[in-house]
Amino acid sequence: MLTTALAAAAGGAITAREAAAQENVARATRGTPSPKIKDVSVIATAPAGLRLTVVKITTDQPGLVGYGCGTYTQRAELVNAAVEKYLKPFIIGKPTDRIDDLWQAMYNSSYWRNGPVLNNAISGVDQALWDIKGKQAGMPVYQLLGGKHREAADCYGHASGRDIPEVLESCKKYIAQGFRHVRVQVGVAGMAGYGSGRGESKVQALHSAPVYEPAYYIRAALKMFEACRKELGDEIELCHDVHERISPIQAVQMCKDVEKFKLFFFEDPLSPEDLSWFRIIRQQCATPIAMGELFNSPHEWNPLIGERLIDYMRMHVTQMGGFTPARKVAAFGELYGVKTAWHGPGDVSPFGHAANVALDLVCYNFGIQEYSPFGPTTREVFQGVPEMRDGYLYASEKPGWGIDVDEKAAAKFPYGTNEGGERKEYNGGWGEIRRRDGTIIKQ
């Protein structure tokens, strides 16, 4: 048996099973010039206080390395362990040029799949392999997928405030920078709004946690849309994120109530646990719906796209398993008239943002891109990030994702601290938000 011979030749350092795996790799790559995966490591860094996971794949070809985003900032160390303890031994020695095949192998090898930790770990490897393939070809990744449909990705910025005048002021700043789209979020005095400023005061409650009451938020948001249209006119495109914080029937009402404001999209009116309510919303109004940043699984996005129940798919690309599944789902959406609006918050590494922009450029059914600026500390660690000009995000024209990592700089920003070096609560995870009576709400 060749496997036994291989194991014997290795002096017992590997098992017969591992030798068999190596033999399979050798058989699969015989006659092909593919580089092989020589090492896999995690670059764990928090340059802006948010814990980023970057997977680095080193090949057996000198200087040929790839990077990918696997950032799940709320549970980052678990992703890093999944990469180092499970994916690394599974993929060492395998060819780098069979990306989809390796994705399927990683996805299925855990048996229990579609969870955020493992999907992010797979994404880190997947995106690193696309980076390597682009570098081999001497092309940016978007060229590997057929090239550009558009020159750059039209983006929306996050306009917010503790009250309506602050929101309007924030909007005007984005408009002055050239943005054609803004996401508007307003706070409620004394409460913990999503994506809005928070005042010092706090409403009376039966507990000491941050307070949120859905009905207060809904009334404030409706007044904000009215003020935005009155003060900013009809030309600016308005987005809004409910962040799944209201009840399903409140979501139906709110989708109907905002119809007259002609929003660009209305995001996450329902939680992933309440997806069947989208059919009811669809039957009652034509408010454009965006959904998906919490999705892990085809079980979630397939029905919504296939039944045309949403208008924008907003998945977090690393959370859905990386670039490979995202491009397939985008193509699925094209057939059903559902556009892309990939999740682009601060807790995505620049490699994740680069993957978003590559998809934005190559997918005919691009809708909009969420934009989060790259600060000076992030740029110190990552060189070659996508560039923002006049509300458009431009991809790097360098091979692969076009981004280099300064690992010494990355080590200056360890997990668990904010930009000022202070320890973060809950090891960087989120806390809790409650209604006045103490009931927990979704974040």
If the CB atoms of residues 141 and 218 are measured against Mg ion, the closer one turns out to be 218
156 annotated active-site = no
Q: How far apart are CA 106 and CA 111, in angstroms?
A: 10
Task: Give, as one character, the DSSP assignment of residue 152.
Answer: S
Cβ neighbours of 432 (radius 10 Å): 11
- In order of 60, 223, 292, 299, 441, the CA distances from 355 in angstroms are 24, 36, 17, 23, 32
If the CB atoms of residues 241 and 300 are measured against Mg ion, the closer one turns out to be 241
Give min distance, CB of 280 to Mg ion, in A: 21
Give min distance, CB of 243 to Mg ion, in A: 6
Task: Give, as one character, the DSSP assignment of residue 156.
Answer: E
- In order of 188, 394, 405, the CA distances from 349 in angstroms are 31, 16, 11
Give min distance, CB of 343 to Mg ion, in A: 7
Give min distance, CB of 359 to Mg ion, in A: 17
Length of the chain: 443
Give min distance, CB of 268 to Mg ion, in A: 5
Q: How far is CA 416 from the centre of its chain?
A: 20
Binding site for Mg ion (CB under 5 A): 241, 293
- In order of 90, 93, 195, 254, 301, the CA distances from 345 in angstroms are 31, 34, 11, 24, 20
194 annotated active-site = yes
Give min distance, CB of 242 to Mg ion, in A: 9
If the CB atoms of residues 135 and 316 are measured against Mg ion, the closer one turns out to be 316
Radius of gyration for the chain, computed over Cα atoms and rounded to the nearest angstrom:
23
If the CB atoms of residues 163 and 241 are measured against Mg ion, the closer one turns out to be 241
If the CB atoms of residues 126 and 241 are measured against Mg ion, the closer one turns out to be 241
The DSSP H or E segment spanning 369 is: strand 369-370
Q: How far apart are CA 325 and CA 50, in angstroms?
A: 25
If the CB atoms of residues 143 and 160 are measured against Mg ion, the closer one turns out to be 160
Question: What token pair was written down for 334?
Answer: 């094209």
Contacts of 272 by beta carbon, 8 Å cutoff, 6+ apart? 244, 294, 295, 300
The residue type found at 411 is A
SS (H, E, C) 107-144: HHHCCCCCCHHHHHHHHHHHHHHHHHHHHHHCCEHHHH
Angle made by CA atoms 53, 54, 58, in degrees to the nearest 5: 145
Catalytic one among 158, 243, 316, 343?
243
If the CB atoms of residues 131 and 154 are measured against Mg ion, the closer one turns out to be 154
Closest residue to Mg ion, judged by C-beta, is 241
Catalytic one among 72, 107, 194, 312?
194
Give min distance, CB of 387 to Mg ion, in A: 24
User: Which residues carry out catalysis?
Assistant: 194, 243
